[in-house]
Chains A and B, each alone.
Chain A
């Protein structure tokens, strides 16, 4: 897997958020996007998934140009996003939510195996398998949303603000799981900088739609200027 964004300009309507942004992600990398509200974290994710059109520049995934591909077509290439605010299908059962995650797959046996695997990993999903997903707690829904995305066997997993509205205990569970994933590249857009840096090796610091810094998470934690701006000293 390789993802390259070259000189990307994108935004909403006439308002451009990203201005000629370059970003490369290699196989197996886990990267945090760090930045204040409006810095462009979610916009980058939406440009990668195709939820917003890219006005300039080029996105290539495994060498293939993504221009003009709808989000559902990009899923088939292996790009899957866990949306901010979880967005489980509220009236579908937990199990059906997981199966929908595997919508693009044709290997039935593999899907059953994965279903079992994630229910094993998160016993609460097995216990509530037949309940409508809308009845789960916020944290449970977040686990479901992550597991649902993984059911697609993505090559690249994009995760948008997973800590949003979760209790500290659930934040720990979700992040430690994200940190334990292997065989998939992860891009994490997150306000909770400490948690994000704990589970990713690298971090990209964004401000006003441009990249200020890209360095290892450990290095960034030592950076006095960064700590002042993003961690409160």
Chain B
């Protein structure tokens, strides 16, 4: 019983990381209306930046904060260079442009940090914690707490501030948002920045949890963000959150039953199943028709 509860808490912790990564992805998806392949690569670079800053001796909290800011800046750069010029083109164009931006980031990161897998410093203590007779890992609990605080902050920003509500309008209906006097270009940049910031936070937690940073994390993170966002209903904030949690649980269940080789296949299976069976996701709002 203890074993299952511990696995459950691990699943939720990993899921909360995916939620962080999926949030920005989902917001950007609803603006672009297409798969943002670059997202995972942006946050992979952010994780490497965090590693470099930590190795340079900068204390953990400012190092990670700076890496998140770097992620925000890179995401803004990607938006400016790879998306804005093609935003009004055929739907397939921004997707290819996003893929291209991702490959450039991957190649750049490989030039700097090399193709090998780097270990990530274990900043979060990994000790057994007993709660109500159940033994859980302190790392999982701390990761979960950090993720929840960030998700709550982002949720507050998006749902309670004037700027956040404007961002929701841009995601739901860009042309009409413009007719309301909302400065859409500014908002889009901000959405990318928020997505990059939260995503890097997720990527750093991911790197700590799996004790690894590597170039292919980019594609992996994109896939997981995509699966989580699809599962919860694309473009929906709470959907991306719950989709992330469910993905974490599903992966943990797969690892427990079939072995850890199956972990990364879960997200791909989810993408296929959701597209086939429930294209709006589990918690997706009835999709607003786009005309």
Bound together, the chains give a CA A165 to CA B168 distance in angstroms of 26
Task: Find chain B residues with CB under 8 A from A134 CB.
Answer: 285-286, 288
* Chain A: minimal CB distance from B164 (Å): 11
Count contacts on B: residues with CB < 8 A to the other chain. Answer: 22
Q: By the criterion CB–CB under 8 Å, are B179 and A85 in contact?
A: no
- Residue of chain A at shortest CB distance from B176: A87
Interface positions of A from 70 to 90, Cβ below 8 Å from B? 70-72, 75-76, 80-81, 83, 85, 87, 89-90
Q: How far is the CA of A85 from the CA of B291 in the complex (A)?
A: 9
B166 interface hit (Cβ, 8 Å): yes
Q: How many residues of A contact B (CB 8 A)?
A: 26
Q: Work out how many contacts link A and B, with CB atoms closer than 8 A.
A: 71
Q: A85-B291, A87-B173 are in contact. Are A100 and B180 (CB under 8 A)?
A: yes
With A85-B291, A90-B288 in contact, do A101 and B180 touch (Cβ < 8 Å)? yes
Tell which of B36-44, B181-189, B274-282 binds the partner.
B181-189
Main secondary structure of the interface of B (DSSP, over half): helix
Q: Which residue of A lies closest to B172 (CB)?
A: A89
Which of chain A's residues have a CB closer than 8 A to the CB of B168? 89, 91-92
Task: Judge whether A96 is part of the interface by a CB distance below 8 angstroms.
Answer: yes
Q: Are A72 and B181 in contact (CB under 8 A)?
A: yes
Q: Which residues of B contact A (CB under 8 A)?
A: 162, 165-166, 168-169, 172-173, 175-184, 236, 285-286, 288, 291
Closest 3 CB pairs of A and B: A75-B181, A104-B181, A90-B288
22 residue pairs A–B, Cβ–Cβ below 8 Å: A51-B178, A51-B179, A70-B178, A72-B178, A72-B179, A75-B179, A75-B181, A83-B176, A87-B176, A89-B169, A89-B172, A89-B173, A89-B177, A90-B285, A91-B168, A91-B236, A92-B165, A92-B169, A101-B180, A103-B182, A148-B180, A152-B181
